[in-house]
Chains A and B, each alone.
Chain A
Amino acid sequence: MLNRPRPAPGADPDAALLAAYAAGDGQAAAALAARLLPRGLRLAARLLGDPAEAEDVAQEAMLRLWRAAPGWRPDGGARVGTWLHRVVVNLSTDRLRRRGRTRPLEAAPDPIDPRPSAEAGLIAQDRAAALHAALGRLPERQRIAVVLRHLEALSNPEIAEILETGVEAVESLLARARRTLAADPALRHDIDPDEEG
């Protein structure tokens, strides 16, 4: 194992690990996988709604990272984590398009009827299922933007980098998605269903 220089404050620690990996450090890959793989896997699962496919995408994204390691420039370009998110998003989008479907979460349950649980409030599982179903009804880029912003808690500039667009476009995507989600009856348990009909 090689001695790894401690990254400077504010520097990307993943970039330092990637440089160590490229220099032949046998432990750096395990450290990077421990840091990046769980989030990559979770993002792929959220976008694809299929655990097996999510594993394939996460593995492929990590493989691309290994291959990119020798040419990685820590002083310019994206942070390693952001770069990996972009690869996961692109691979997931490709798979969704190959499947010929625009909504990734068909496997998620249908929007639940809010009436039975209106009084007691939804249990967490129902609420999560309703959210995933509602996300599945969003247009592709709006859905990705919501997942990255509200579930992965990435910043708008990071999302802009991942989607290869501007920050204003991301804000616009998010605003439209929030309006659609806010109007989704499966997520509006404060509305009296009798008044809605």
Chain B
Amino acid sequence: MIPEDDDLRRAEGTLPADLAAALAAARQEAPPAVPAALLARVLADAAAAQPRPGPEPAPASAAAPRGGFAPGALRAAIGRIARPLAGLGGISTAALAAGLWVGIAQPGAAPDLFALIGLGLEPELALLPDHGGMADFLDPEAGG
């Protein structure tokens, strides 16, 4: 027997009597008996789909084979080593990009760095005026 709520009774109270009676009668119909074959199929499905309680998960140290590296342990070890170096990735990328830029599109005014440190030809670009020029620059009256 299905309990009826007040809203349902009120709604059916506005319906034609025969319709309301038909609905009430249908509502009070007992659920059909479940055929035994259907119940057996449903329970067989349930048994097949039921999660099997598995063995307790072993601790990580026990999972690794003795005297060797398990793949998981190897990955973990690499991760531990590489983690502090991860922050250097940005620096190396920036240095690479700067090197490429200088190599491909070298600014015209860039000095020859080898010459500057005395390993090659004289620098073609005078970064400072010669001594006389410098003296003139510092004391214009003496030079004139």
Contact = CB atoms under 8 A, between A and B. Distances in A.
Contact of B41 (A30, A59, A156, A178): A59
Contact of B22 (A30, A127, A149): A127
B38 A58 contact: yes
B139 interface: no
B34 A190 contact: no
Contacts of B26: 128, 131, 150-151
B57 to A, nearest CB: 16
B86 to A, nearest CB: 35
B51 interface: yes
A41 B33 CA distance: 9
B45 to A, nearest CB: 5
A155 B12 CA distance: 14
B115 interface: no
Interface string A63-80: 100110110000000000
Interface of B: 2-5, 7-8, 11-12, 14-19, 21-23, 25-27, 29, 31-35, 38-39, 41-43, 45-47, 49-53
16 contacts: A26-B50, A41-B38, A42-B29, A62-B46, A66-B45, A131-B19, A149-B8, A151-B23, A152-B2, A181-B15, A181-B19, A182-B16, A182-B19, A187-B19, A189-B18, A190-B17
